Chains A and B, each alone.
Chain A
Amino acid sequence: MRKSGSSSIGAGLRRRPSVTTEEDEAFARLGEARAVFGRSLHVRTIDTGSCAVCESEIRLLLAPHYDLHRLGLFFTPAPRHADLLMVTGPAVRAMDVALGKTYAAMPEPKVVIAVGACPLGGIYPEDELVHGRLEKVIPVDVFVPGCPPSPLALLQGLLVAVGRLREKVTGFSFSEDFGVLDPPGRIRKGPDR
């Protein structure tokens, strides 16, 4: 992935040299989208069978504490007006037609965000009722883990999708030396990041 550098908005336009990998293709797609969208974006959410807690967190984004509108992001019910599709839920097979029609109705360029653990393959394994992974149904550009992802995590996901924040998760290894333990049995709380 890209080396750490400036976090300016035009950063997505910088191309990596020659070798085409899956990451490069995703990055190129997002870069093209970022060039077109500029600073303002309309988001369409769709629920493919979630428990609606992710929807609660998404709805909280419009509240004054998080205030999505100050970032130039707006919700719209019409996929024709939407640039970005936020999908929650484990891609229930019964929603295939609706999800396909919603995705097709959005004009290019468009960005898809998979929100929560469900569309990323967690909680519900693939069976005759669900696909489990959203990537099996429509192409996904940004993945936002969490169950549910807090509004701050959602904000980070949206800002990554529009190229205003850099992706951070590649820099974390989730493997570290804890050092000396506290008195036996007590787990020390992690530092702020």
Chain B
Amino acid sequence: MALWFWRGLRKGVVTTRYPAVTDPWARGLPTPPVFDPKRLTVAIADQAVAACPSQALAREGTLLLLDLGACSACGRCLAVAGPAARPSGLFELAATSRGHLVKSIQIGGPAEGGI
């Protein structure tokens, strides 16, 4: 008989309660990176853009463009960017428009004189 049946008898209901509550193991999922603008420099940004195999990162002037749709959570930009990036832990990324998935990060912190 299926293992889940015995597990269910031992532990009770094993169906996830998502979307009411997220599963705890979701913490370990590979997820797109989040960047710290203050620790980001143009050099680091260019290295991250070159490392991405999936065309998810691009630099436009002082903006680092992160395309969440193209990101495959491979982690190469994390290895290259060092303290400037860490995994976001966010996996609920569904979007109704393609534009919502492109995020821009200001390199070097917020620009002087407002955004």
Contact = CB atoms under 8 A, between A and B. Distances in A.
A32 interface: no
A175 B37 CA distance: 6
Interface in B48-94: 53-56, 66-74, 78, 83, 86-94
A143 B15 CA distance: 25
Contact of A26 (B30, B96, B103): B96
**A interface, by DSSP: helix, strand, loop or mixed?**
loop
Interface of B: 4, 8, 14-16, 18-19, 22-23, 26-27, 29-39, 53-56, 66-74, 78, 83, 86-101, 103-106
12 contacts: A117-B54, A123-B72, A143-B95, A149-B91, A149-B93, A152-B22, A156-B19, A172-B88, A177-B38, A187-B83, A188-B86, A193-B92
Nearest to B106: A175
B93 A175 contact: no
Contacts, number: 187
Contacts of B67: 120-122
A152 to B, nearest CB: 6
Contacts of A11: none
A173 B100 CA distance: 10
Interface in A152-193: 152-153, 155-157, 159-161, 164-165, 167-170, 172-178, 181, 187-193
